[in-house]
Amino acid sequence: MSTVKTSAPGAVFLFGEHAVVYGYPSLNASVSGRVRVEMKPRKDNRLEIQSNGLGREEGRVIREERPKIRAGKRFSYVVKAIELVFSEIGEGCGLEVKISSDLPMGAGLSSSSAVSVASVAATLLLLGEKVSPERVVELAFRTELEVQTVASRAGVSVATYGGFLRIEGKNLKRIPDLHVPGFVVGNTGIFSATGPMVRKVRDLREKHPEEVEALFRLMGTLADTGLSSLKEGDLKRTGTLMDINQACLAALGVSSPALERLIKASREAGAYGAKLTGGGGGGCMLALCPGKEKEVSEAIRRAGGEPLPMSLGGEGLLIESE
């Protein structure tokens, strides 16, 4: 096989980020922005990775019974995804990898999940292996877990399956025929890696277990009541539930002044509700504002953010060529 191309979408959390790491439900949706991976084999043991956002890096494949890769940390998710596939199959080779992305990195749109899923799928294809959704999710989850030390299956599940998903531990439920217009994504422009924020919540949970578990339980309830309100078309109620979820995230210490500015501006411009999405600390927020998309986008811009033109609920992992 000469070259394979795959792509996977980013994702937003409508409800339940951070709580999902500890087995509570979350409600997630894919976004129209995608990460694309192009991969082809080399005859030597070199690994070359280049990206439109992160530049270029070289590494080396150590051919053993369970092949390993020696490389820097710039493309840690890509390297770990490839290494885990090599290790599982017991076979490895040099690779040239090109990555392009419509998603801002470190912005709460699950770009790490998207690149992990696309990299796992491309490596499996290149080695002639079966690419099942379950296998991709598991290997991509292990990728994030090894890079971040704490992770959930939420982002990689959405990147694989697409659409709207309810996720609880290893269980996921696809939500068909759910079309929710009127969301606007706003980017603070502040990079915030997922791993440190997840570890921050873990540390808080260790110090205050009862209080943090109470917040997690509430967020899990919000995921289910939020899904019900979306199915019923009660978007004003959905917005109120998003606001409550944001209050929980602020209590966990993962909001930020920049996020709060965009959220406040969105609400004042007519959004039914608004919250951060993803790890927090920076990155993106999400506003539900049917009929007020233009006004909310302008308010986000005036508050120092960048409104991102994205739709929710599109396709998951795609094999674009093989």
Q: Are residues 100 and 35 in the same domain?
A: yes
Cβ atoms of 15 and 26 closer than 8 Å: yes
Distance CA 289, CA 291 (A): 6
Phi then psi for residue 282, to 5 deg, are: 175, -145
Cβ count within 10 A of residue 268: 12
Residue with tokens 């005036």: 302
Residue 53 lies in a domain: yes
Domain boundary among 133, 153, 175: 175
pLDDT-based confidence at 65, cuts 50/70/90?
low
**Are 156 and 293 contained in the same domain?**
no
- Could you tell me if residue 212 is left (phi over 0), alpha (psi between -120 and 50 degrees) or otherwise beta? alpha
Note whether residue 320 is domain-resident: no
Is 117 found in the same domain as 200?
no
Query: pLDDT per residue over 2-17, tens digit each?
Result: 899 999 999 999 999 9
Q: Do 132 and 187 lie in a common domain?
A: no
Residue 288 belongs to domain with CATH number: 3.30.70.890
DSSP symbol at 56: E
Q: Looking at the structure, do residues 249 and 304 belong to the same domain, yes or no?
A: yes
- Kindly tell me if the per-residue pLDDT of 72 is higher than 70: no
Helix or strand or coil: residue 226? helix
The arithmetic mean of pLDDT across residues 65-85, rounded, is 81
Collapsed DSSP state (helix, strand, coil) of residue 275: strand
* 316, part of any domain: no
Q: Give a yes or no: residue 321 inside a domain.
A: no
Percentage of the residues of the chain whose pLDDT score is greater than 90: 71
Q: What is the pLDDT of residue 24?
A: 96
Domain end, chosen from 130, 150, 175, is at 175
Amino acid at 226: G
Residue 148 lies in a domain: yes
Task: Say whether both 159 and 25 belong to one domain.
Answer: yes
| Mean pLDDT, range 183-188, rounded to an integer | 96
Q: Could you tell me which of 277, 237, 236, 230 has the C-alpha nearest to residue 255?
A: 277
Q: What mean pLDDT comes out for the span 136-158?
A: 90
Cβ(245)–Cβ(15) below 8 Å: yes
**pTM surpassing 0.75?**
yes
315 belongs to a structural domain: no
CATH of the domain at 117: 3.30.230.10
> Does residue 164 sit in the same domain as residue 258?
no
Instruction: State the pLDDT confidence band at 320, using cuts at 50, 70 and 90.
Output: confident
Residues 6+ apart with CB under 8 A from 25: 15, 16, 19, 166, 167, 168, 220, 223, 224
Count of domains forming the chain: 2
Q: 131: pLDDT confidence band, cut at 50, 70 and 90?
A: very high
Output the average pLDDT for the chain: 92
Whether 138 and 236 share a structural domain: no
Contact between residue 32 and residue 9 where contact means Cβ atoms under 8 Å apart? yes
Residue 126 confidence (pLDDT) above 80: yes
| Residue 138 and residue 266 in one domain | no
Domain boundary among 141, 175, 209: 175
pLDDT (tens digit per residue) in 260-315? 999 999 999 999 999 999 999 999 999 999 999 999 999 999 999 999 988 999 99
221 alpha-carbon distance from chain centroid: 21
151 pLDDT exceeds 80?
A: no
Whether the CB-CB separation of 64 and 127 falls below 8 Å is answered with: no
In a domain, 24, yes or no: yes
Q: Tell me what pLDDT residue 192 has.
A: 85
Do 195 and 152 reside in the same domain of the chain? no
Q: What is the rounded distance in angstroms from the CA atom of residue 83 to the CA atom of residue 67? A: 7
Give per-residue pLDDT as tens, 95-104.
Answer: 899 999 988 8
pLDDT computed for residue 322 by the predictor:
61
Residues 162 and 43 in one domain: yes
Q: Is 85 exposed, middle or buried (0-12, 13-18, 19+ CB in 10 A)?
A: buried
pLDDT digits (tens, 9 = 90+) for 196-236: 899 999 999 999 999 999 999 999 999 999 999 999 999 99
- Are 225 and 157 part of one and the same domain? no
Domain range spanning residue 137?
4-175
Taking alpha carbons only, the member of 306, 194, 301 closest to residue 254 is: 194
Q: Give domain status of residue 250, yes or no.
A: yes
Q: Give per-residue pLDDT as tens, 23-59.
A: 999 999 999 999 999 999 988 888 888 887 777 777 6
